[in-house]
Amino acid sequence: MIPITGDGAPGGEAADGRATRWAGHRSSRRAELVHAARRAVHHRGPDVSMEEIATEIGTSKSILYRYFTDKAGLQTAVGQAVLDRMREALAEAAAHVGGPRERISAMVTVYLEMVASSPHVYAFVTRPEAPTQAGDLRGFVAEVNDLVADSLLPALRGTDPPGPDVDDETLAVASLWASGVVGLVRSAAERWITEQILGPAGRAGTDAALARMTRQELTAHLSDWLWDGAVGVTRRARRRSP
């Protein structure tokens, strides 16, 4: 009798080869479903149901549940795909610009581009409905904090690159500064994209002004606030006043 492994394939090299091919097929199929689900959310909105997603991408709910267990699992998978792409873009932005201020501006640009490219997908992956997804987002935010902190270290030490002998106090300051950067950008981006979706029609005052604000304008505002602080922004505003 040929021994059978736990995945139902014969033992030995044949079993290993079959298991590897099956794992590769499953991974590829899962990636395809994640990509398709992301498109469905982009078109139908963040409140789309599993049945609507399945219909949109031409499969069945049972297939989605087979690969993702439930909607929270699908949210986590789509969110991880978005976060992976954003992580790569942030790393590339940090590596191809000049000083710390330019790096901060580049990172703000990357984040806002991600939000603006698909507000529905952004809302879908950042909702706290799925505990595992929330954990992934916290982990991603920590990674973004590290990227930003690395960009801020030269400014704190007065050298670029900062060198390997950075003391703990400087690292702590950079980490706190980075947390503030990420928190401000995320909060401002969510407020801005909400107003963009609602639009300025029939509204007035601050809300309408936010709805009219371009991504480039918001990037410039955030970059100024993050680098110059309240005093610098106030001083610049006074110089612009008649």
- Check residue 107 and give its pLDDT: 82
Distances from the Cα of 227 to the Cαs of 19, 47, 71, 133, 152, in angstroms? 53, 37, 40, 31, 10
Report the Cα–Cα distance between both ends of the chain, in Å, rounded. 92
| pLDDT at site 55 | 92
The phi and psi torsions of 128 (rounded to 5 degrees) equal -85, 20
Alpha carbons 212 and 103: distance in angstroms, whole number: 26
CA 200 from chain centre, in angstroms, equals 27
Please name the residue ranges forming H helices in 158-214: 168-198, 205-212
Q: Both tokens of residue 78?
A: 């789509």
Q: State the DSSP string of 133-172.
A: HHHHHHHHHHHHHHHHHHHHHHHHHT-SS--S---HHHHH
- 3-class SS of residue 10: strand
pLDDT tens per residue across span 149-163 = 776 776 666 555 545
Averaged pLDDT score across all residues of the chain: 77
Instruction: Specify the pTM.
Output: 0.72
How long a stretch of residues is the chain?
A: 242
Residue listed under structure tokens 């918001």: 218
User: So what's the pLDDT on residue 7?
Assistant: 41
Q: Which residue has the tokens 């000083």?
A: 99
Rounded to whole angstroms, the Cα distance separating 53 from 199 reads 27
* Structure tokens, 81: 């795909």
DSSP state of 83: H
The residue whose two tokens read 């069945």 is 60
Question: What percentage of the chain carries pLDDT values higher than 70?
Answer: 71
pLDDT in tens, 176-220: 888 888 888 889 998 898 888 767 666 678 888 888 899 999 999
- pLDDT, residue 173, reads 82
**Predicted confidence band at 51 (pLDDT cuts at 50, 70, 90)?**
very high
Tokens of 41: 């959310």
pLDDT in tens, 18-28: 667 667 778 88
